[in-house]
Each structure stands twice: as structure tokens, then as C-alpha cells.
Amino acid sequence: MAAPQSKVIVTCAVTGGIHTPTMSPYLPITAKQIEDEAVAAAEAGASIVHLHARKPDNGQPSQDPALFREFLPKIAARSDVVINLTTGGAPNMLVEERLQPALQLKPEVASLNMGSMNFGLYPMLARHTTFKYDWERPYLEGSEDRVFRNTFKEIRYILESCADNGTRFEVECYDTSHLYTAAHFIDRGILKPPFFIQSVFGLLGGIGTHPEDVMHMRRTAERLFGRDYYWSVLGAGRSQMPIASMAAAMGGNVRVGLEDSLWEDRGRLSASNADQVKRVVGVLKSLNLEVATPDEARDMLQLKGRDAVAF
């Protein structure tokens, strides 16, 4: 069985590397927008905020640590929320580029993808025909022939490069095979407990969103990781809240945010990250579950603490 817990860790993915900005006017792009959205998500109940950066002039995803430095200290000054930085970046980036924010800024938590995969965003072209920036359409079109590369060597490179930082990883698993890859690095002694396993559902190229898919990922994680892990879920798009509700009822933790879903409900855009956090907090309360504070999440995941980061 997974590690016992009395509180649910709520992660909010504030602005992603995979969505394009003109799909929603509410997606934060500038440093100030990302700062304000992260703080508002924390005030709404998020235990952790997961952060990417974007070029403010055109909204393009960027792993330039200088862009992260524009908002990270300000978030930390305004909130005690746990900050989680991406090492995923965007599927068209090399691993050395993707690693830099976590390597240089030494966050308490960083995301880590557990395998290469087809990462198909091109179906979005059927719903979005006009774009604000020149890079957006080619970016989506190119995903039909793009592999999000995360080889064993690259995963090891990220883990070993950050080993001295004390950063713990949000281990992102888009399919069952990724759970086995995590187990491989655990067996090698490179990935240390307690493990924060994030199961991702609903992205084209990964596992689906059927309840059987969710239960299969949970059962496999239970078998592989025993009591040494915390299980969390990320449902993409319209599957976000149904999968969060299902996982919470199964004893899991949850992730929401505009990186994962731009929608509040059918045909209506979500106006903020905080709105999504409030919504999932309401679901948790209806299940008689309590949300973990940032410090409770730190204790559960055995994080190094906010004073040990480099921002």
C-alpha cells in the first residue's frame, strides 16, 4: 500500500510548455502574470505550484533561468507554497536546455518525465484556426512527427546532475512503462524515496482516461513502490476533474491548472488557476478530505525546505 496520509497534496500547474497562449487569454505569460497566478493558486489551496517560463514578447516556452528568476523570488516572498520547476520544458527542447532552471535554481521539487513518447498536440488544429504568433501553428503541426525524447541516459543525467541540490522529483508517468522505468532507477539507487509519482492521463501518445486506465496505473504503482510513494494524478483537458475526483476517492493526490486544462466546462474557458484549485478543493471537501498545507506537503515528501533553494 502507498504511504499513509491524512491530507491531500494539491499541485497547480500554472503555465505550461505544451499549450499555446492564444488558446486562452487567461494563460499567464509574463513574469508578473505567472507570479500573481501562482500566489493566487496558493491562496486558493494549492500545496505546490508547478512552473514553466515563457518569453514575454511572444509567449513561446523557454527554459532560460533568467526568465524564472524574474518571478521565483517574488512568489517566494509572497507565499510559502512549495515551488516545483519543470525539467520537461517543451518536447522540442534538448535535455541540457530543459535541465537548466532546476540545476541552477535548486528548487524543492522538479518534474521528471520517465520515458520517450509520441506527444500529439496536432488535433488542437481542428479547434483552433487562428493564431497570434508565427511559431504556434508550426509547433502544433510538427507534433504529428515529434517524439518527446527522454532516454534512460537523459533521465540519469537529470537525476545525477541534481543529486547535490537536494531537489526531490515529481516523477511524471504517461503510461505503465514509465512506472517500470521509475522502478529501474529506484533499483539502481539513483531515485530516492519517498517517491512522488504523477500519473498523467489523456495526452495523445500516453495512456487514456478510462477508469480502468486510472485503476491500472494505481495498481501497478502499488505493486512496484509499496509504502515508499505518494500517488498523484493529472488529467488533461476535460478529464481533469473526473480523474482528480476518482483518484482522490482512491487515496491519491491531485494536480490541476491551466497547463493541463484550459477549460472550466464544455465551451467555457477557465478564468484562472485559482478557480481550478478552488473547484478541486471543493471536490476534496465533499469527500471529507483535507488539503495539505505547503508545510504538510514538505513533511510528507521530506523536502529540503524553502530556505535551501537558490532563488
Paired strand residues for 200: 234
pLDDT digits (tens, 9 = 90+) for 167-226: 999 999 999 999 999 999 999 999 999 999 999 999 999 999 999 999 999 999 999 999
How far CA 122 is from CA of 41, 142, 146, 167, in Å, comes to 29, 7, 10, 34
The pLDDT value recorded for residue 164 is: 93
**Position 5 pLDDT exceeds 80:** no
The pLDDT value recorded for residue 126 is: 87
The pLDDT value recorded for residue 39 is: 98
- Greatest alpha-carbon pair distance for the chain in Å reads 49
Domains of the chain and any CATH numbers: 7-308 (3.20.20.70)
Burial-class residue 211 by CB neighbours within 10 Å (0-12, 13-18, 19+). Answer: exposed
The pLDDT value recorded for residue 94 is: 93
pLDDT digits (tens, 9 = 90+) for 148-172: 999 999 999 999 999 999 999 999 9
**Position 139 pLDDT exceeds 70:** yes
Residue closest to 108 by CA, chosen among 34, 48, 173, 31:
48
pLDDT digits (tens, 9 = 90+) for 32-63: 999 999 999 999 999 999 999 999 999 999 99
Pull the grid cell for residue 93: 527542447
Residue closest to 171 by CA, chosen among 132, 126, 207, 221:
221
pLDDT digits (tens, 9 = 90+) for 272-308: 999 999 999 999 999 999 999 999 999 999 999 999 9
**Position 22 pLDDT exceeds 80:** no
Pull the grid cell for residue 143: 507534433
Residue closest to 148 by CA, chosen among 179, 185, 120, 169:
120
1: confidence class by pLDDT, cuts 50, 70, 90:
low
- Full-model pTM: 0.95
19: confidence class by pLDDT, cuts 50, 70, 90:
low
Range 19-44 average pLDDT: 91
Q: How many angstroms separate the CA atoms of 230 and 244, rounded?
A: 14
**Position 129 pLDDT exceeds 90:** no
pLDDT digits (tens, 9 = 90+) for 223-268: 999 999 999 999 999 999 999 999 999 999 999 999 999 888 887 8
The pLDDT value recorded for residue 212 is: 98
131: confidence class by pLDDT, cuts 50, 70, 90:
confident
Q: How many angstroms separate the CA atoms of 250 and 231, rounded?
A: 10
